[in-house]
Amino acid sequence: MLQIHNRYHRYLNRTGWGFIAPALAFYLVFMLYPIGSSLFLVTQKWRGMSREFVGLGNFVRMAHDQVFWKALGHNFLFMAIQIPLMVFLAMVIAVILHQGIKRFRGIFRTIYFLPVVTSLVAYSILFRILLQSNGLLNNFLHSLKLITEPIGWLNDPFWAKVTIILALTWRWTGYNMVFFLVGLQNINKEIYEAAEVDGASQIRQFFTITLPLLTPVILFSLVTSTSGTMQLFDEPNVLTWEGGPANATMTAALYIYRQAFVLNSDFGYASALSYVMVIIAAVLAFIQIKVLKERN
Amino acid sequence: MKKGLVLFLAVLMIAVSFMSCSNKEAKAGAPQKLTVWCWDPNFNGYSMGKAVEVYQASHPDVEIEIVDVPDNIEGKIEAGLQAGGAGLPDISLFQDYIIEKFVQNYPGAFVDLKAEGIDHSQFAQYKVAPMTDGDKIYGIPFDTGSTGLFLRTDIISAAGLNPDDYQKSMTWSEVIALGEKVKAATGMPLIAYDNTSFDFLRIMVQSTGTQFFDNSGNVMYDTPAVKKSLAYIKEMDDKGILFMAEGWNNWVAAFNNDQSAGLMNALWIIGTLKSKPENAGKWMVVPTPIVEGVANAQAASNNGGSSWYVLSATKNKDLAVDFLKSTWAGTTPEALGFYNEILKGAGAMGTFLPSRSGSNYTAKDEFFYKSQAVYKDFSAWMEKVPVLYYTPNYTAMRTALGNAMQGMLSGNITTVDGVIDAAAAEYKQTTGN
């Protein structure tokens, strides 16, 4: 009896409970309750205030909803192309800033980080002006005789995807670059000195010293970017007019929002779609954690 | 991350405590206050501001705050209705096609203004119909979206044609013939077309007195009006008569900066035209072209237009109703005067029929070719706008057809039937109906 008391009495520590009570209250109200109630939501077909029990009907409906699966496909497409491109660029810029440039380093760092703190709406309007058919970019390419017909950066289903990838890269490269800069500063200079004494070239130093020692940063970048791209919403919503043209840049998160607040007021179906997204994100996170653990 | 959360919660708590403070003040008998949501401060906000001035002249103790909600006002109202009315204003403006969805999905969310004594027979009936549910009528109609075809007479002249020959009601075939001549002579497309918008097709189809639904409100894309309208759009695109603009700003630039010779839209675009004073004397407006070969096709249509609604969650229902009744539905000289004023000031034409006696409704407008009395024309066309219902599924319907139409204009879908099939398939998938 006493033993049991000893084993469990730490769970009954009132002071401890008192300390975590505020956090726990917020957790219950803002995390557990929404998750629990959303389990109820997915069984409902909603039309605003009126709702009707459909059991797993929302998931059956989802199976036929090609717009959603196409949107989810776009998430993976953006992930597969944009993230490697961005992480590579971020690393290259960080290395150049760290080793190659001696003057104005701070200015360059600021310039590359600026897109992160720029207003999304402002930059979307600028991008639209630059990218429209008779815009600056097409005129520039035309004057270089690289193209004969204007490219539909916003109008063409293929090029609109390219635009989203470019916009994301523009916005987030500087953000990731900061992590690489920190990573580079943490590499001991003596390692490079030793390598130089051994006669290793700059390129060789990069591949055998810099790159392996930056692996944790690369993984961190990949993990955060993956979850960011999984939830991608802003660019397709603002830059390409709600996932246009003709759903060519529709993403899962944007489609869920539109189901709830634009198209049908169907919060049940939107919740069901969210569950699918959460499961996919969880699987991705699980894989990444595994990879990270193996590395460590 | 954690720090951010803490900061956020702290801000939230401070905000909440401020909010509860202000509530207490209101209860203590301070001046009465109404909140109004609308978008576009130069048009809707301006017009509501004038109504507020009229009301405050006789009710100096009433404060009315106009809040600019630039983006997705319907979504914000929906979020508030889901939350049982929390955070909603007393009065809100939204587009006419939304109300049927709100009435179906949120019964009782809006105050029945007919029961409050508003005489809706004084308003244009095509505006009253969608907000009517049985013997209840929910809103106060605001502006008309009476449409026309705006043409640049100087460009038509430059093509060796006489603009006066075209200042008449035309069919789409005649417009296309004009477009080909202008294109051949000047290289300029006749009409600026916004590829991200549904407006163009909507104007064409509604001019035939139909929508995109059958009699019981189910979506029906396969109608003569839709097919014929899509065929005309495709023909114009194939012949290079349309300037394919990407979004609103690009579209405005297309007709204000001499990249196309015209546009088709509602009268509320006049303010945008006038933002380019160099074009004074160059524009003319002709009636909406007729979609020939479709029964009941006529030279009038409607695009856009919105109405004022009182939310049932309001704590100031009587005040809100009295404010609307004595301004937007008022026949006092002051009320009619403000209708006359917003027509000149913002190009906002109300649908309150007694207000049409105002001097600005018949005034000649120097900005237009040969000082055309454009508001007189639009007002006359408004009378011909047919009564149309939007059904609760208008947004989903529009999204699916708009996407299919973009497919047609980018060349991925080559036939009109293909567009209709693609739209029907997407509609079925996105609504589950």
Three-class SS of B147-171: EEEEEEHHHHHHCCCCHHHHCCCCE
The answer as to whether B23 is a domain residue is no
Helix ranges (H only) for B28-105 are 46-58, 73-82, 99-105
Q: Which of B106, B247, B432 is closest, CB to CB, to A48?
A: B106
Structure tokens at B113: 């203004």
Would the CB atoms of B410 and A157 count as touching at under 8 Å?
Answer: yes
Question: What does the pLDDT average to over A123-150?
Answer: 91
Distance between B122 CA and the closest CA of chain A, angstroms = 32
Contact list, A49 vs chain B (CB under 8 Å): 81, 105-107
Distance between A290 CA and the closest CA of chain B, angstroms = 23
Distance between A193 CA and the closest CA of chain B, angstroms = 37
Decide if pLDDT at A215 tops 70.
Answer: yes
Residue B117 contacts A where some CB pair is shorter than 8 Å = no
Same-domain status, B279 and B391:
yes
| Chain B interface, best mutation among A24, A31, A44, A49, by max B CB count within 10 A | A49
- At A232-258, the pLDDT tens digits run 999 999 999 999 899 999 999 999 999
Contact list, B74 vs chain A (CB under 8 Å): 262
- At A256-280, the pLDDT tens digits run 999 998 898 889 999 999 999 999 9
The DSSP element (H or E) to which B243 belongs, if any, is: strand B242-245
Query: B126 in helix, strand or coil?
Result: helix
- At A91-100, the pLDDT tens digits run 999 998 988 7
Same-domain status, B173 and B235:
yes
Distance between A257 CA and the closest CA of chain B, angstroms = 10
Same-domain status, B391 and B285:
yes
Last residue of a domain, one of B361, B383, B408: B361
Same-domain status, B212 and B338:
no
Q: Which of B78, B196, B428 is closest, CB to CB, to A241?
A: B196
Query: How much is the pLDDT for A134?
Result: 87
Dihedral sign, CA of B155, B161, B164, B170? negative
Residue keyed to tokens 């497309």: B189
Question: What does the pLDDT average to over A159-188?
Answer: 94
Q: Which of A64, A133, A261 is closest, CB to CB, to B78?
A: A261
Q: Which of A133, A244, A263 is closest, CB to CB, to B430?
A: A263
Same-domain status, B69 and B151:
no
Distance of alpha carbon B371 from alpha carbon A275, whole angstroms: 61
Structure tokens at B63: 């404060």
First and final C-alpha spacing in chain B: 42
Query: B275 in helix, strand or coil?
Result: coil
The contact set of A with B (CB < 8 A) is 26, 45, 47-50, 61, 64-68, 125, 128-129, 132-134, 152, 154-157, 241, 244-247, 258-259, 261-267, 269
β-sheet bridge partners, residue B171: B290
Distance of alpha carbon A193 from alpha carbon A205, whole angstroms: 10
DSSP summary character for residue B108: T
The answer as to whether B11 is a domain residue is no
The answer as to whether B224 is a domain residue is yes
Contact between residue A133 and residue A245 where contact means Cβ atoms under 8 Å apart? no
What ipTM score was computed for the predicted complex, to two decimals? Answer: 0.87
Stretches in chain B below the pLDDT threshold 70: 1-31
Same-domain status, B124 and B230:
no
The answer as to whether B18 is a domain residue is no
AA letter at A156:
D
Bridge-based pairing of strands B63-68 and B33-38 is parallel
Q: Which of A64, A133, A246 is closest, CB to CB, to B407?
A: A246
Query: A46 in helix, strand or coil?
Result: strand
Query: How much is the pLDDT for A124?
Result: 87
Query: How much is the pLDDT for B30?
Result: 54
Chain-centroid distance, C-alpha B76: 18
The answer as to whether B65 is a domain residue is yes
Distance of alpha carbon B411 from alpha carbon B426, whole angstroms: 18
Same-domain status, B335 and B425:
no
Chain-centroid distance, C-alpha B114: 23
Same-domain status, B35 and B140:
yes
Contact between residue B403 and residue B380 where contact means Cβ atoms under 8 Å apart? no
Distance of alpha carbon B69 from alpha carbon B52, whole angstroms: 18
Distance between B174 CA and the closest CA of chain A, angstroms = 29
- B371 C-beta neighbours (distance < 10 Å), count: 12
Residue B64's domain is classified under what CATH number? 3.40.190.10
Distance of alpha carbon A32 from alpha carbon A20, whole angstroms: 16
Query: How much is the pLDDT for A79?
Result: 95
Query: How much is the pLDDT for B19?
Result: 46
- At B174-209, the pLDDT tens digits run 999 999 999 999 999 999 999 999 999 999 999 999
Structure tokens at B53: 């001035």
Contact list, A65 vs chain B (CB under 8 Å): 429-430, 432
* Residue (of B317, B318, B313, B335) closest to B326 by Cα position: B335
Domain region containing B121 = 28-144+304-361
Residue keyed to tokens 């190659």: A100
Last residue of a domain, one of B314, B339, B361: B361
Query: Which residues have a Cβ under 8 Å from the Cβ of B333 and sit 6 or more positions away?
Result: none
Contact between residue B100 and residue B68 where contact means Cβ atoms under 8 Å apart? no
Same-domain status, B170 and B243:
yes
Contact between residue B117 and residue B310 where contact means Cβ atoms under 8 Å apart? no
Percent of chain A with pLDDT over 70: 97
Query: How much is the pLDDT for A265?
Result: 86
Query: How much is the pLDDT for A4?
Result: 57
Residue B32 contacts A where some CB pair is shorter than 8 Å = no
Query: How much is the pLDDT for A296?
Result: 62
Domain ranges of chain A: 2-41, 60-295
DSSP summary character for residue A12: G
Distance between B107 CA and the closest CA of chain A, angstroms = 8
Distance of alpha carbon A139 from alpha carbon A130, whole angstroms: 9
| Chain B interface, best mutation among A241, A269, A271, by max B CB count within 10 A | A241
Distance of alpha carbon A65 from alpha carbon B260, whole angstroms: 39
Q: Residue A263: closest CA among chain B residues belongs to which residue?
A: B396
Same-domain status, B104 and B217:
no
Same-domain status, B249 and B263:
yes
The answer as to whether B3 is a domain residue is no
For A60-295, CATH gives 1.10.3720.10
**What pTM value is reported for the model?**
0.88
The answer as to whether B425 is a domain residue is yes
Query: How much is the pLDDT for A106?
Result: 85
Q: Residue B102: closest CA among chain A residues belongs to which residue?
A: A48
Would the CB atoms of B105 and A48 count as touching at under 8 Å?
Answer: yes
Same-domain status, B282 and B402:
yes
What's the number of domains chain B is made of? Answer: 2
The answer as to whether B168 is a domain residue is yes
Contact list, B244 vs chain A (CB under 8 Å): 133, 155
Contact between residue B256 and residue B273 where contact means Cβ atoms under 8 Å apart? yes
| Chain A interface, best mutation among B100, B394, B410, by max A CB count within 10 A | B410
Would the CB atoms of B102 and A48 count as touching at under 8 Å?
Answer: yes
